[in-house]
Amino acid sequence: MKNDLDRDLSLSLEESSPQASRLDAAHLHAHDTRIHRQDRAFSTRENQAHALSLGGYRALSVLVAVGVILVLLWGVMDLPAFGRDTNPVENEVAERYLAQGLQEGGATNLVANMILDYRAFDTLGESNVLFTAATAVLLLLRGLQTREADRSLAAAAPEAPADPILRAGARALCPVILLYGLYIILNGHLGPGGGFSGGAVMGAALILYREAYGSEKMGHLFSFRTYRAISFFALAFYALSKAYSFFTGANHLPSIISTGTPGAILSAGLILPLNIAVGFVVCCTMYGFFALFEKGEI
Amino acid sequence: MEMVMTLLLIIVLLNAIMVVRTKHLLAACIIFMAQSLVMVLIWILLQSPDLAITEAAVGAGVSSLLFFLALKKIQAIDQGKENSAHEK
């Protein structure tokens, strides 16, 4: 008797359960559509507000942009015409640089004379700015990525080998680019070029080599110790040698640095060594930036 | 010479507008690189080869490399096509 009742109950339960679930589903569906409808109503209202604010934002941004353009154009109107000899930039300083540069600096490239002799203090500041920027990136990225690397050291996969076209191209191009960079640096006092541009070219060659042959192989040639040593010695040499030349110049003392014959490769006093120092700092910084951004270490 | 200069300046202007208008990040980087190369020509025409060498090395070379590296880091190089199609 009890068993029969149980069976009946279970049967009725079994019969009713699909219905109930269907009912539930229908109910849920109705609920869902209601929610959806509410959502749509809500979103259209929000969309209108959003569109209004977006339109206002666009109108405001166009207004601000037009205002800035007008102000800038107004300022440009007062600029003197390009290249006229009565312009304020054509003053006695530039004349002095052009007239006396060859005798006082000794470099046939008068631009090198200006940036590494007359304005050498500014260039020292520029080199230090680059070095400081690299140090800041180092501080920010190095600590961050070593912690990540510790966590995923086991999961770290070996670097995928680079494309064969890239490898062959790098093998052919890297020596030529490096040589060209060296030429720009060493020829900086005789023709166009100098430490900054030559260093950037050499840095680009190092980056190309790293991309083609991987950071592992590059590590043998250029490690963090190399970076530290080159940056320190180049900047220290720059500061000390320029300090000597400022000291003797300001006190009217005889200096052991002679300007030599203009046009010879070993001439122009301190300009050639300073070019080499700046070139090394720039090269290391360019490569260091790339390595830090790519992997978090040099 | 005046004509060449005007042409180059117009190209610089168009490049500058296109860099902002492109949705494709990789294409924007390449246009930015082209902008630097046109600037190199302008510096040479203005008789400042020192600046031209620096612009070629830094503007077209190293800074573009850093941009490409950033795109690689955020994985935008391979998905650039899909992204641009999606945004249109």
| One domain for residues A99 and A179 | yes
Instruction: List the structure tokens of A235.
Output: 């900047």
| One domain for residues A127 and A234 | yes
pLDDT at position A18 is 46
| One domain for residues A191 and A131 | yes
Q: To probe the interface with B, which of A145, A197, A202, A285 has the most B CB atoms within 10 Å?
A: A197
**Residues of chain A with C-beta less than 8 angstroms from the C-beta of B73:** 293
Confidence class of residue B88 from pLDDT cuts 50, 70 and 90? very low
Q: Which residues of chain A have pLDDT under 50?
A: 1-2, 5-6, 8-21, 23, 151, 153-157
How close A246 gets to chain B, by Cα (Å)?
A: 26
| One domain for residues A51 and A110 | no
Domain end position, chosen among A78, A105, A135: A78
A107 DSSP assignment: -
pLDDT at position A153 is 46
Measured CA distances, A104 to A239, A254, B48 (Å): 20, 14, 22
Q: To probe the interface with A, which of B53, B69, B73 has the most A CB atoms within 10 Å?
A: B53
Least confident of A49-58, A253-262, B62-71, B77-86: B77-86
| One domain for residues A178 and A201 | yes
Domain end position, chosen among A49, A78, A107: A78
| One domain for residues A139 and A279 | yes
Q: How many structural domains does chain A have? A: 2
The answer to whether residue A19 is domain-embedded is: yes
**Residues of chain A with C-beta less than 8 angstroms from the C-beta of B48:** 111
Nearest by CB to B61, from A192, A200, A294: name it. A200
Nearest by CB to B61, from A184, A204, A294: name it. A204
Environment class of B8 (CB within 10 Å of its CB; exposed 0-12, middle 13-18, buried 19+): middle
The answer to whether residue A86 is domain-embedded is: no
How close A50 gets to chain B, by Cα (Å)?
A: 19
| A192–B contact, CB cutoff 8 A | yes
| One domain for residues A178 and A61 | no
The per-residue pLDDT for range A176-190, each reduced to its tens digit, is: 999 998 998 888 878
Taking an 8 Å cut-off on Cβ atoms, the answer to whether B54 and A197 are in contact is yes
Measured CA distances, A85 to A80, B46, B49 (Å): 10, 16, 21
The answer to whether residue A85 is domain-embedded is: no
Nearest by CB to A184, from B53, B61, B73: name it. B53
**Residues of chain A with C-beta less than 8 angstroms from the C-beta of B57:** 197, 200-201, 204
| One domain for residues A21 and A97 | no
Taking an 8 Å cut-off on Cβ atoms, the answer to whether A200 and B52 are in contact is no
* Closest alpha carbon to A277 in A226, A224, A231: A231
CA atoms within 13 Å, Cβ hemisphere of A211: 22
Which amino acid is residue B52, in one-letter code?
A
| One domain for residues A17 and A69 | yes
| One domain for residues A47 and A138 | no
B73, closest residue in chain A (CA to CA): A294
Domain end position, chosen among A14, A46, A78: A78
The answer to whether residue A118 is domain-embedded is: yes
Taking an 8 Å cut-off on Cβ atoms, the answer to whether B66 and A200 are in contact is no
The helix (H) or strand (E) run that includes residue B74 is: none
Rounded to whole angstroms, the Cα distance separating A198 from A180 reads 8
Between A295 and B87, the more confident residue is: A295
Taking an 8 Å cut-off on Cβ atoms, the answer to whether B65 and A204 are in contact is yes
Give DSSP secondary structure letters for A37-97: HHHHHHHHHHHHHHHHHHHHHHHHHHHHHHHHHHHHHHHHHTSPPTT-TTSTTSSHHHHHH
| A184–B contact, CB cutoff 8 A | yes
Instruction: List the structure tokens of A245.
Output: 């030349």
pTM: 0.67
How close B39 gets to chain A, by Cα (Å)?
A: 15
The answer to whether residue A201 is domain-embedded is: yes
Range(s) of the domain holding residue A17: 1-78
Rounded to whole angstroms, the Cα distance separating A117 from A242 reads 9
The answer to whether residue A138 is domain-embedded is: yes
* Closest alpha carbon to A235 in A206, A277, A204, A292: A277
Instruction: List the structure tokens of A56.
Output: 């206002």
By the 8 A CB rule, do A205 and A178 touch? yes
ipTM: 0.75
By the 8 A CB rule, do A203 and A282 touch? yes
pLDDT at position B85 is 46
Give me the helix-helix angle, A164-186 and A271-295, nearest 10°.
150
The answer to whether residue A87 is domain-embedded is: no
Query: What is the phi/psi pair of residue B8, to 5°?
Result: -65, -40
Number of A/B CB contacts below 8 angstroms equals 44
Nearest by CB to A197, from B57, B66, B69: name it. B57
Q: What is the 3-state secondary structure (H, E, C) of A209-236?
A: HHHHHHHHHHHHHCCHHHHHHHHHHHHH
| One domain for residues A23 and A132 | no
pLDDT at position A207 is 86
pLDDT at position A146 is 57
| One domain for residues A21 and A127 | no
The per-residue pLDDT for range A53-103, each reduced to its tens digit, is: 778 888 999 999 999 999 999 988 888 777 777 777 777 777 778 777 777
Compute the average pLDDT of residues B75-79: 66
